[in-house]
Structure 1
């Protein structure tokens, strides 16, 4: 049945286009509903297929360390970027590793490990007679075991890991052995990580369902009616449709498996955010006396406009990852940008159909009135306006303090002592540390050098400052005219001192013929240099495109510049939280039952940047779009701030809480990588919603007054904005 023509609300060209689109949707409700139903059903099918089509490669090709590690694996079928297993023994008092019986036991241990892990590359004091494998007092010694590449697979962004069956066989072989009558304990990153507290958890589907339950509770509180189910329904449509698109994308390019987590959890928050904004505006227009369809059209022309600009900026924030020279980060950017686009499409087409058919019925019975929240937010805005200078200084001081903390961020993999673990693996690590050998054997530097120069290379590198010892074993450590030299630093290679030593080793290797540095830590260093070396370019691209989009949306050049500055401040403050929590251990024991990593996972901050920048822009657009609308009506900046906060304060807070719950549920996975990512995303959303949007935005908009709305004539012409008569401040 055709709908009655409705005149569009007095908004700009984009708003009028959206109003026209909504009128078309309302005139073809059945067609639109059937189309989305088909896409959703296909999306559930695609969701079941997508995981098997995703890539699990987290390496960065063409870096010096990656090339070296690939050559090591190609020639020796082991090592490279995969940390080894280490069998440790502390001999009884009066016994040293140089005793013939002890050396014989060490050779027997190597044979036992070789039988347990066929094809492994193994070395110890027993077969090499090199002091690199013995503590200064001679009582603690170890054997290093590099499993063959056939039992090694990717274990997430932290790097490659050895499969559980291989680790179990090696651990049993070590437990059955005796060296000088002493117990042998096996340790290594694979063992410490697998035994760390909280390393098991529900799959991503369970986490998404957990976040969905939390979101529903928040929505029920916000709407106090069955209308709470509508935004959740939009997410149920958006997520599988996005996963269907990701599945299709895998036919064109490699897409990393982490995209599934991000689409599911980020999608839940973003899809609900967009639907929440439109539904609340629809309810507001109905309470003003408009008919149901008139309210839908007006909501689409105003809130829908904010959704369109917001979704575009979120997508741009994620798409900017394309400039990074790391395939798995680029794939996350490509896959991640699909969810805001799908959520925008659902909010602008399917949501009007749902509101037109079941909206009034769902909102008919309310548990309580919801206008009290608007009065509270209006009162808060007036309080902030009265104390705008103090509010600006207080909010800025907190964010700047966190930004200062971020200045000390150390990007890399966790230090061995932070990996947790219990029993023999932890005890073995402690034996290494107490003996003075340290944790370096768990992530040694692997050096590829000509076989006939291996001994000389080892001697040269052993003299580098910060190196404890270097070893040039024979046998399986030499092939095709090449050899692997194992270098052990005095500090854990993942510590700041250890990385400085790797830098010195690279300088020394550059003076030696055909000698290059590999190992897991060198690969991490190259990753950091490549990603964060490209970061200024990514930042510039995002800022320029966002500025242009927002300048057109707000018809101002001041508001976009301020929005970008605040968003960047918010992101860097979030990095400060990640530094405090994971590098320095503030709250890690309380929240996750683990100690600090001593570093922040190298890949995490750039992903947090992309998502928090996009999500914070969501909230910025929601609030400033409403303030711009109210300013056009009243001509008063302060009144625009009060009305804008009254209309969007509850929305932004509720949306932030929903997204926070989505990220918090990610932390329940137990996986250390996801916990690091979840910490940054959750902290960023809370900081942005509570400090930036609730405090800094109203305070600074009020402080700047009519300068907020300034747009030079040349900018107006470039952006093809209509000429307007400047409003006079009342």
Structure 2
């Protein structure tokens, strides 16, 4: 593989002008094709679950209940009543205008639902649901903005205030300006410039990464409809593509500058960097792709397709690093060569650090593991669920509507259970339905609506309002109580088939589905990643040990997310309240992404240590030599990727905040603790066994060379000697 990558890089660097023209034409053609593509509705189905069966019944027999909706909460000041003629006229006028909006199929009676006597809103609040004939993925920001402006215009001049919540309102609140992406890129520019001390090197690195990100987003737009990719896949792909793309480009440009400082011609230096760092990028990228694509085995379409979209994004930045960067090297060859060779010399500071770590390896490992375990402790109290409007900042209209409804109708009113009953057409089931509704009035239930038949008479619906909030564990227990203990005896001897759906039951089913497939998912991700590392490093122990410490690193990441969002440590700084449950798919997605990215840095570090070992260094010397060469690059790559991820906490969506904070801090923990403390100590302890592979396995596994020995270029020892000769420095870097 190394010689193949070297030939490509050499050709692209030598013929950079024609290569640049071809690259531009390809991007333009893909962009034009993307302009004709369409975005399919998001698929939130969880096949085989009870809540999904309830949703399917609604879709077939009561589509208004299966679509999306918005809740309007009207209030008047103290001293006024919501039913006063002026207030009622303003509300009726607003709802008449709402009924004429595109997509609206039903608007309820706001005065039908009466707040309980004695509370603050007994006579000052009215609420209604606005139902659309849209699926979740069909909603556009314009739907929410039209609703808001229409109601505001109709109420202007009256004393009626309105707050809103629902999917339509949430989509309208999404920011159009990519603040997270722009902040991440700005931080990357600063860090790259500081690392390279070269505007040209920063520019080449950034262009190589951004072209890959852009192509990835274009491909996702083209493939969205045929593959059914959800919209949130683009956010994950952008986050991961930016971080990984800059890291990959940084590694290749950094190696090129080493070779250029040693006297290699631009084509030779480009070939050598592709054969060594480029091969590491391919291996690292493959591991990330395997880890993320492994989400397909979870069995939930949304999760699998988000993983597929992220894998496509990573593949694009890998290809961009191997093609666009050689073109940029050819165009900027003279400016990319370091003006001061000491900028690419092995780092004395990292050499001393490696000496310290390898001097007492057991102490280093114990200290690193203790830190990881300390971060991971909060994960024992992680509560899976779904953030709702109760976790929004108090200034948001969704939060105010949520609080007003909870005060007026109880904490469970914001998320009632939908009990869907399959009724045989023509059969008189009224007595059975009434008996079922009566049975549902158990402890923990605030109210039960009468059973209402659909227009075709084949389905009945009962709304059950819990006494507790959606995120309360008591609400979860109520779901299981109704399904397991209450409903079966209530419908025994009848033809009724009953399914409990809604937000809380759906989350429980989602979590159970993920948990049932989790062992298979973890086994596939770890197994394939370890095999890829074995093929790359020709080693048994290094990949196995790396997988173990990756799991500890991921546990630490989960602990940080739990500590911030659930326990509330610093949550207000992110614009959310404490007590936010962790969305069920976040830990699974984080596992796939973090396992892959952790292996990225693992490959970058170990490839340089292995390279030094095969050039004649002993086990300890190879660690010191490798860390001194790559330590600074890994540190800056980590800071850049963490900055890109952390910048996404500026997104208004709490799930994007979870991903941004969790991934950003996890990368910092992984690199600073695992890669720069634990990993060097482990390789030192393994000694020569670190690079041992049984003969039978050596023959079986493909050989993915990461050392570049197949390329006719200078060895690492010759490179260091040439640089030292230019600078007149003769002190030894390694012990």
Verify same fold: TM over 0.5. Answer: yes
Distance 1:28 1:620 in 2: 34
Name the structure 1 match of 2:190: 217
In the alignment, which of 510, 520, 531 is matched to residue 527 of structure 1?
Answer: 510
**1:542 lines up with 2:525 in the alignment:** yes
Distance 1:491 1:526 in 2: 19
Name the structure 2 match of 1:3: none
**1:469 lines up with 2:444 in the alignment:** no
In the alignment, which of 489, 500, 519 is matched to residue 477 of structure 2?
Answer: 500
CA contact (8 A) 1:81 1:519 kept: no
In the alignment, which of 260, 267, 287 is matched to residue 241 of structure 2?
Answer: 267
**Matched pairs, number:** 686
Deviates more, 1:500-509 or 1:160-169: 160-169
Structure 2 portions without partners, runs of 5+: 100-104, 424-428, 706-734
**1:163 lines up with 2:141 in the alignment:** no
Distance 1:169 1:107 in 2: 16
**1:640 lines up with 2:613 in the alignment:** no
**1:585 lines up with 2:568 in the alignment:** yes
In the alignment, which of 687, 695, 699 is matched to residue 713 of structure 1?
Answer: 695
**1:18 lines up with 2:1 in the alignment:** no
Distance 1:461 1:174 in 2: 39
Cα 1:329/1:719, change in 2 over 3 Å = same
Q: How does 1:659-670 map to 2 (within 5 A)?
A: 659-670=641-652
Deviates more, 1:389-398 or 1:229-238: 389-398
**1:625 lines up with 2:604 in the alignment:** no
Q: How does 1:533-572 map to 2 (within 5 A)?
A: 533-572=516-555
1:708 Cα deviation from its structure 2 partner:
1.8
Q: Residue 227 of structure 2 aligns to a residue in which SS? A: coil
In the alignment, which of 387, 395, 402 is matched to residue 375 of structure 2?
Answer: 402
In the alignment, which of 619, 625, 633 is matched to residue 651 of structure 1?
Answer: 633
Name the structure 2 match of 1:323: 297
In the alignment, which of 71, 74, 88 is matched to residue 57 of structure 2?
Answer: 71
Q: Residue 440 of structure 2 aligns to a residue in which SS? A: helix
Name the structure 2 match of 1:439: 411
In the alignment, which of 439, 447, 465 is matched to residue 460 of structure 1?
Answer: 439
Q: How does 1:73-472 map to 2 (within 5 A)?
A: 73-80=59-66, 82=68, 85=71, 87=73, 115=96, 118=99, 120=106, 122=108, 134=116, 140=122, 145-150=128-133, 153-154=136-137, 163-166=144-147, 188-189=165-166, 201-204=175-178, 206-225=179-198, 226-250=200-224, 252-363=226-337, 365=339, 369-371=342-344, 374-422=347-395, 429-430=402-403, 433=406, 437-449=409-421, 450=423, 452=430, 453-463=432-442, 465-472=443-450
1:520 Cα deviation from its structure 2 partner:
2.1
Deviates more, 1:539-548 or 1:113-122: 113-122
Q: Residue 517 of structure 1 aligns to a residue in which SS? A: strand
1:140 Cα deviation from its structure 2 partner:
4.5
In the alignment, which of 453, 459, 471 is matched to residue 482 of structure 1?
Answer: 459
Distance 1:492 1:174 in 2: 31
Name the structure 1 match of 2:20: 33
Cα 1:555/1:669, change in 2 over 3 Å = same
Cα 1:593/1:246, change in 2 over 3 Å = closer
Deviates more, 1:66-75 or 1:219-228: 66-75
1:460 Cα deviation from its structure 2 partner:
0.7
Name the structure 1 match of 2:712: none
Distance 2:146 2:466 in 1: 30
Distance 1:720 1:245 in 2: 30
Cα 1:165/1:609, change in 2 over 3 Å = same
1:194 Cα deviation from its structure 2 partner:
8.3
CA contact (8 A) 2:136 2:167 kept: no
Structure 1 portions without partners, runs of 5+: 1-13, 724-729
1:626 Cα deviation from its structure 2 partner:
0.8
Q: Residue 615 of structure 2 aligns to a residue in which SS? A: helix
1:239 Cα deviation from its structure 2 partner:
2.1
Distance 1:400 1:117 in 2: 54
Q: Residue 407 of structure 1 aligns to a residue in which SS? A: helix
In the alignment, which of 57, 60, 64 is matched to residue 46 of structure 2?
Answer: 60
Name the structure 2 match of 1:687: 669
Aligned-pair Cα RMSD in Å: 4.0
Q: Residue 420 of structure 2 aligns to a residue in which SS? A: strand
Q: Residue 462 of structure 1 aligns to a residue in which SS? A: coil
Distance 1:647 1:58 in 2: 47
Name the structure 2 match of 1:514: 497
Cα 1:200/1:90, change in 2 over 3 Å = closer
Cα 1:43/1:306, change in 2 over 3 Å = same
Deviates more, 1:568-577 or 1:420-429: 420-429
CA contact (8 A) 2:536 2:703 kept: no
CA contact (8 A) 2:54 2:420 kept: yes
Deviates more, 1:229-238 or 1:453-462: 453-462
1:390 Cα deviation from its structure 2 partner:
2.7
Distance 2:157 2:450 in 1: 28
